[in-house]
């Protein structure tokens, strides 16, 4: 697309939209959001960039083939369930680790975040795979 408005907006909006997608990813296990919503927002950022600059430019920016990202996300989501099996708990049982970095405010990290990260990668990979397949070369 040869629109100055779209190309300028895509350059400046891409980092902000990606940052917002990470925010949605990280708040997902306690509030609305998570891997699916964050992945959709991130994929929309790359799609906007692709509409502005073309398929070849978005693939240079993306740096990984969407199918590999989907596979890696599926493996990551699957691995999150094996942590519970290793402790004789049911598959996909949530496990939490509390890190006391700041006094009176422990940081909780757990397997739901690993699962959400896997879903995040799968959603980005699927949407980008469809976008790349449908977008014709420049």
Q: What is the pLDDT of residue 19?
A: 96
CA-nearest of 64, 5, 42 to 127 is 42
> Does residue 116 contact residue 39 with C-beta atoms inside 8 Å?
no
Q: What is the pTM of this model?
A: 0.86
Q: Which residues of the chain have pLDDT under 50?
A: none
Q: Cβ neighbours of residue 37 under 8 Å, at least 6 residues apart? A: 24, 28
Count of domains observed in the chain:
1
Q: What is the pLDDT of residue 128?
A: 93
* Domain that residue 130 falls in: 4-134
């Amino acid at each position: 697309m040869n629109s100055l408005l779209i190309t300028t907006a895509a350059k400046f909006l891409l980092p902000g939209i990606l940052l917002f997608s990470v925010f949605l990813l990280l708040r997902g296990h306690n509030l609305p959001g998570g891997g699916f919503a964050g992945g959709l927002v991130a994929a929309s950022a790359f799609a906007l960039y692709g509409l502005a600059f073309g398929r070849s430019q978005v693939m240079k920016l993306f740096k990984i083939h969407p199918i590999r990202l989907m596979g890696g996300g599926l493996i990551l989501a699957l691995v999150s369930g094996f942590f519970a099996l290793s402790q004789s708990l049911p598959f996909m049982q949530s496990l939490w680790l509390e890190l006391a970095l700041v006094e009176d405010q422990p940081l909780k990290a757990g397997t739901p975040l690993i699962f959400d990260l896997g879903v995040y990668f799968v959603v980005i990979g699927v949407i980008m795979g469809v976008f790349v397949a449908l977008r014709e070369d420049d």
